[in-house]
Amino acid sequence: MKISVPRKNLKEMILYIWKIINYSQISKKELLYRLSFDLSLFSPDEARNFIKDSVDNKFLIENEDLLKLSPELEIKLKSWEKKRKDEILNKIELSEKTAKIQASFNNNKTSTFNILLKAFLDKGTLNRAVIVSDDSIKLSLFDYNKGIINAQVIGSKENRYIIEINIKNKSLKHDCQDFVTKRLDHKKFCKHLVKLFLFLKEKDENSAKRFLEAITENIEKWEFLS
């Protein structure tokens, strides 16, 4: 999580400093040193004024020579710490998941599903697909008996892309730029299509595999559309 320096906002500046120093409380003298010499955020005089303003506005609570955050800022700091912890844990989980999926595709005893999916992608596409969040997939229909998959994928810039696969019509429709400009003509998958099938595999691997089989068995008859 990137932390910018909010110099124009006293309350946010205090939180920014407490995120760095990570103390429940600190003496005035120590805080002055940290601000002006250790962190080089202020000159000594500026640091003294900053501490005084923080106390006067009750953003910092003074108890003898010790300073601590106000209850309001303490709550905000704990909320930020929880969010930061969740982000780190999510990155660790994603890294482990990525390694596991990549290993499964490189395994000589890889599954039929993986073999079928590999025909539509390259290694770079797989790597990009794995880091797409499961939450970005909005599945409205996944029914092999009907031969239809309808889904939306939320892109990195909050764009919503459609995916429509119809076995009866032998059509696959998607509208992200990478698919339209680089994959469509060659009947290859972009990261969104790969992610969708990885997502479907977790729900029902056999049905996901049968969709891939239907596409690969008659690939010359299929239309890839935008």
In this structure, the answer to whether residues 15 and 39 fall within a common structural domain is: yes
Query: What integer pLDDT is reported at residue 102 of this predicted model?
Result: 74
Query: What integer pLDDT is reported at residue 98 of this predicted model?
Result: 74
Query: What integer pLDDT is reported at residue 1 of this predicted model?
Result: 46
In this structure, the answer to whether residues 28 and 120 fall within a common structural domain is: no
Q: What is the pLDDT of residues 83-123, one digit of tens each?
A: 999 888 888 887 787 777 777 777 766 789 999 999 998 87
In this structure, the answer to whether residues 95 and 140 fall within a common structural domain is: no
What angle do helix axes 191-217 and 123-130 make, rounded to 10 degrees? 120
- Structure tokens given for 172: 């696959």
Q: Look at the chain and report how many structural domains it folds into.
A: 2
In this structure, the answer to whether residues 140 and 212 fall within a common structural domain is: yes
Which single residue is written with the structure tokens 């590999």? 118
90, 110, 130 — which closes off a domain? Answer: 110
Q: What is the pLDDT of residues 55-81, one digit of tens each?
A: 999 999 999 889 999 999 999 999 999
C-alpha–C-alpha distance, residues 121 and 124, integer Å:
8
In this structure, the answer to whether residues 123 and 85 fall within a common structural domain is: no
In this structure, the answer to whether residues 207 and 132 fall within a common structural domain is: yes
Query: What integer pLDDT is reported at residue 173 of this predicted model?
Result: 97
83, 110, 137 — which closes off a domain? Answer: 110
Contacts of 41 (CB under 8 A, 6+ apart): 5, 17, 35, 47
- Structure tokens given for 9: 């906002």
In this structure, the answer to whether residues 105 and 117 fall within a common structural domain is: no
Query: What integer pLDDT is reported at residue 90 of this predicted model?
Result: 82
In this structure, the answer to whether residues 130 and 213 fall within a common structural domain is: yes
State the residue range of the domain holding 13.
1-110
Which single residue is written with the structure tokens 């909010």? 6
63, 91, 110 — which closes off a domain? Answer: 110
Torsion sign across C-alpha atoms 15, 21, 23, 25: negative
Q: What is the pLDDT of residues 1-49, one digit of tens each?
A: 455 788 889 999 999 999 999 889 999 999 999 999 999 999 999 999 9
